[in-house]
Structure 1
Amino acid sequence: MMSRSFGVEDSKWMVEVGANWVQGTQTEAGPANPIWELAKKHNVSLHSSHYFGSVSTYDDSGPFDFQDTFQQSIENFDKLTAVAGARVPNRLVDMTARSGYALSGSRPRSRYEMAAEYYQFDWEFGATPEETSWLASSWAHNNTFLEFSRENLLSVDQRGFKTLIQAEAEGFLTEQQVRLNATVAKVYTSKKGVVVTLADGAEITANYALCTFSLGVLQHDDVKFVPPLPAWKQEAIHSMSMGTYTKIFLQFPENFWFDTEMALYADHERGRYPVWQTLDHPAFFPGCGILFVTVTGDFSRRIESMSDAAVRAEILSVLGDMFPNATIPDPLDFYFQRWFSDPLFRGSYSNWPANFLSEHQGNLRANVDERLWFAGEATSKKWFGYLHGAYTEGEDIGLTLAECIKGGGCFGLEHVERVRNALPYDVE
């Protein structure tokens, strides 16, 4: 969760470069999303996002109506997740979401079909259907939007969306319990406890440690573990994948774009600046002049290798195609977070590939010996990739660890020493 003051001096606004939505709230007396509960508790300002009912469509010739294709993509995604939901109890073999799309009758060929599919899938999971488990993506989506509700609430709180976490922490944390601006370099574990070495050489000792490093940080070996993490843990870490989700913000002196909340651009290259959102809208921050576009996956990593000026030039070129009758002014401000390159993140959130087995997930979540524990959205089997998955995992593992401390020790969570295929491959 990361907020940023964005815009020129006389028109600054707090924008969310990280998590931005409460995804799923509550249906009648059903279970409530814990993030929704926290947002209400701390009076975080939210506004309903009309994902599907307020979308304009464009291609490189300007406004182009492919609403029928867009609506069909919604049906295709609903069918994809519904068919997978029916498969899970039967314990049928998993495959990629691309295979799932094909088996449920969707085979996008035109750029309009691909852009519409991107809006439904990549924009949600931060990865392509080819990279993603059909079953796992479906249950994470269904457990969120069917268990809670289909509502998406966009944070418009000028304190920042992270306020709900900060305000909650103020109820029990003291300044002495938090070390700010400190980067962990090494984690040393033994039967006696844990020693954490910071980048400046300072050491913190404890009986137990709970690691909430992102999956990407673990995959990049940005923190050294002594002794090295066991093979079963390393295999689990590298069997899951990390998605990247990049919002690129621009502030203009005047609004020249669509009056809907969203816009979808169909480029010949799938994933090239496809999903646009305006904050200069009566529902959000009217008069702010802020427009942002989202890219994901390989395209996110591509633009991170480019200069800001080069990315800005590409985006202005796309805007010129989308609005051929408008004079596109130079932006007053421009920013995007380089999530993949940043050693504190190495991506945005986890993604479950088709070859990631339930045993891998259990091993990713399991503690190492008695002293070293792990939590985060990636360890959530039910809600990986979602903010509420990160919250519930932190709460669950934290409570488990507290019981260990109170009880004078515990064995912890089970792991599988060697993950095997259900059946061996026949190579004869």
Structure 2
Amino acid sequence: MFAEKALCCVLALLVGQVYLTSARSVERANTAKVPTVDPTVIILGGGVAGVIAARTLYEQGITNFTIVEARGEFGGRLQTQTIGAPGNEWVVERGANWVQGTQTDGGPVNPIWTLVQKHGVKTQSNDWYGSVSTYDETGAADYLDVFDESSDQYTTLTVAAGARVQKQLVDLTARSGYSLTGAKPKTPADMACEYYQFDWEYAQMPEESSWIASSWGNNYTYDTDDGGFGDENEMSIDQRGFKYFIQAEAADFLEPDQLMLNSTVTNITYSYEGVNVTLTDGTVLLADYVLCTFSLGVLQNDDVTFDPALPDWKQEAIQSMTMATYTKIFLQFPEDFWFGTQMGIFADTTRGYYPVWQNMNLTEFFPGSGVIFVTVTGDESERIEALSDAEVQAEVVEVLHDMFPNVTIPEPTAFYFPRWHSDPLFRGSYSNWPSSFFSGHHQNLRATVEQRLWFAGEATSQKYFGFLHGAYYEGLDVATQLAQCIQAGGCTGITHVPEITNALPYTI
């Protein structure tokens, strides 16, 4: 009972129910070029990468660290929203919602799945391919044959990408890959099904995405032949929120004086001797090392300034990757009038116009909730963020009228969607790898600056960029290297590539 009370007290701090009343300044051990045995470390960001990095340092015997988090709770892009009419309210996920790949026949286990099971987060298997209904602008339209063909085309795309790597051929866009493997969508149904296979995962179009990287991102996660976890997708339906697993994990080892919530960073001043971090309230934190786990979007938009400016090789890497946006739009209705499957696809003449729907009213999800949601990505996400809630709701309801022309659709009792792209703490949902982003760029995205400034997050994961388990692995790997550096009395850190060049020069 005492242990349970202790856990609750620390967890309350993490979720913002209790907050340290004054900022804790971290005194740097010294400013000598060789750090002391117990140097100070500041971890910027309390998402999965930040918490796992802190846990890794703790396990290595390094405890003089502080996590600085801008929001009032840990979780990063793991965030919830309570929606619904009074008496029928439900917690839905604004951000990450799934454990993508769990474990197959004793093979590799997704570390997110391990934490979800450890902390008892309630999930439900989500059938993305066997429980699907299809619609177009005339209503119900059976094009499941097109859907099945699009799944085969995506598999062909990833296999061909592997062959391209073996032959050491240059990368192309995924659109080029689709075309070269014979997939050229022409009809709205073709485009909607391709969207479901590709855009719904990467939050950008094939034209904007690397053929090779998008393929390995899929294979290393789902394909057991490539060391993946398997094709099972577990959706969080826990009313404490998906974020609970990382908050509970943090509560297992963090002390109250190792965290600062509601603390937004404005400036990072660094040198070979140490790092100063300035917060919006003027507080200056001093450290021997800083591990930055900000989203790629924050780094791209200069929401935090660096003094001196980050070196050209680092800035090039940051600006060469893409921060994509993935937007779930939730509606609640007084009664269920839609499809009885888990998933629905809407084929509009405009590609990507409210295409992927999910039924949460089912018994295994939120029975009796009257909740359904639709997802848009990329340019459509940015477009709707410029509209009012009322304008977006009107568009979404009009699509439902198209899908169900013979139904009198009532007014929603609840409507909500997050604006990830315009949120200054994130500037998008997760990273995507374009075809012009080379391995050297990726190495530079991870690389240490002046031995003291380190970087980690889902975007720095080569195999799992854009995935929640990518953030986990990067927090673990980078913090392990940082711990080794500290234990060795200093190091150069993760090295960078001075200049990124083409495999062969252009002939002009």
CA distance in 2, matches of 1:250, 1:181: 30
Q: CA deviation at 1:87?
A: 1.9
Aligned letter for 2:202? F
Aligned letter for 1:33? N
Equivalent position SS for 2:235? strand
Match of 1:417 among 498, 501, 507: 498
Aligned letter for 2:373? F
CA distance in 1, matches of 2:366, 2:317: 43
Q: Which residue of the partner structure matches residue 290 of structure 1? A: 371
Aligned letter for 1:416? V
Structure 2 counterparts to residues 137-152 of structure 1, below 5 A: 137-146=214-223, 147-152=228-233
* 1:301 and 2:382 matched: yes
Q: Which residue of the partner structure matches residue 335 of structure 2? A: 254
Equivalent position SS for 1:314? helix
CA distance in 2, matches of 1:135, 1:228: 32
Equivalent position SS for 1:186? strand
Q: Which residue of the partner structure matches residue 91 of structure 1? A: 168
Equivalent position SS for 2:260? coil
Q: Which residue of the partner structure matches residue 363 of structure 1? A: 444
- What TM-score do you get using the length of structure 2 for normalisation? 0.83
CA distance in 1, matches of 2:290, 2:83: 36
CA distance in 1, matches of 2:500, 2:328: 37
Q: Which residue of the partner structure matches residue 216 of structure 1? A: 297
CA distance in 1, matches of 2:285, 2:383: 38
Query: Which range is displaced more, 214-223 or 402-411?
Result: 402-411
* 1:234 and 2:311 matched: no
Equivalent position SS for 2:466? coil
Equivalent position SS for 2:133? strand
Q: CA deviation at 1:323?
A: 0.7
CA distance in 2, matches of 1:193, 1:330: 57
Query: Which range is displaced more, 184-193 or 290-299?
Result: 184-193
* 1:266 and 2:343 matched: no
CA distance in 1, matches of 2:256, 2:197: 42
* 1:170 and 2:247 matched: no
* 1:59 and 2:136 matched: yes
- What TM-score do you get using the length of structure 1 for normalisation? 0.99
CA distance in 2, matches of 1:400, 1:66: 50
CA distance in 2, matches of 1:293, 1:3: 16
CA distance in 2, matches of 1:320, 1:5: 26
CA distance in 2, matches of 1:230, 1:361: 15
CA distance in 2, matches of 1:398, 1:6: 37
Aligned letter for 1:96? T
Structure 2 counterparts to residues 269-280 of structure 1, below 5 A: 269-280=350-361
* 1:312 and 2:389 matched: no
CA distance in 1, matches of 2:87, 2:284: 44
Aligned letter for 2:301? H
Q: CA deviation at 1:295?
A: 0.0
Q: Which residue of the partner structure matches residue 325 of structure 1? A: 406
Q: Which residue of the partner structure matches residue 83 of structure 2? A: 6
CA distance in 1, matches of 2:490, 2:123: 42
Query: Which range is displaced more, 15-24 or 86-95?
Result: 86-95
* 1:36 and 2:113 matched: yes
Q: Which residue of the partner structure matches residue 79 of structure 1? A: 156
CA distance in 1, matches of 2:359, 2:283: 45
C-alpha distance after superposition, 1:232-282 (max 9, x if no partner)? 000000111111100000111111111000100000100000000011011
CA distance in 2, matches of 1:145, 1:88: 19
CA distance in 1, matches of 2:178, 2:210: 11
Q: CA deviation at 1:90?
A: 2.2
CA distance in 1, matches of 2:270, 2:363: 54
Q: Which residue of the partner structure matches residue 205 of structure 1? A: 286
CA distance in 2, matches of 1:134, 1:143: 14
Q: CA deviation at 1:424?
A: 1.0
Q: Which residue of the partner structure matches residue 181 of structure 1? A: 262
The CA RMSD measured in Å over matched residues stands at 0.8
* 1:48 and 2:125 matched: yes
* Structure 2 residues not aligned, in runs of 5+: 1-77
CA distance in 2, matches of 1:244, 1:386: 13
Q: CA deviation at 1:74?
A: 0.5
C-alpha distance after superposition, 1:95-119 (max 9, x if no partner)? 0000000111100000100000000
C-alpha distance after superposition, 1:169-223 (max 9, x if no partner)? 0111122111111111000102221110011111111100000011111110110
* 1:390 and 2:467 matched: no
Structure 2 counterparts to residues 328-347 of structure 1, below 5 A: 328-347=409-428
Match of 2:484 among 403, 411, 416: 403
Q: CA deviation at 1:398?
A: 1.1
Q: How many residues matched?
A: 427
CA distance in 2, matches of 1:381, 1:349: 14
C-alpha distance after superposition, 1:128-181 (max 9, x if no partner)? 000000000000100000111011111111111011101110111122111111
Aligned letter for 1:103? L
Q: Which residue of the partner structure matches residue 118 of structure 1? A: 195
CA distance in 2, matches of 1:121, 1:330: 32
CA distance in 1, matches of 2:167, 2:496: 24
CA distance in 2, matches of 1:99, 1:250: 37
CA distance in 1, matches of 2:189, 2:143: 7
Q: CA deviation at 1:227?
A: 0.5
C-alpha distance after superposition, 1:327-383 (max 9, x if no partner)? 111111111110000000101000000000000000001010110000000000010
Q: Percent identity?
A: 60
Equivalent position SS for 2:454? strand
Q: CA deviation at 1:86?
A: 2.2
* 1:373 and 2:373 matched: no
Equivalent position SS for 1:141? helix
Equivalent position SS for 1:130? helix
Equivalent position SS for 1:398? helix
CA distance in 2, matches of 1:86, 1:369: 39
Query: Which range is displaced more, 298-307 or 318-327?
Result: 318-327
Equivalent position SS for 1:87? helix
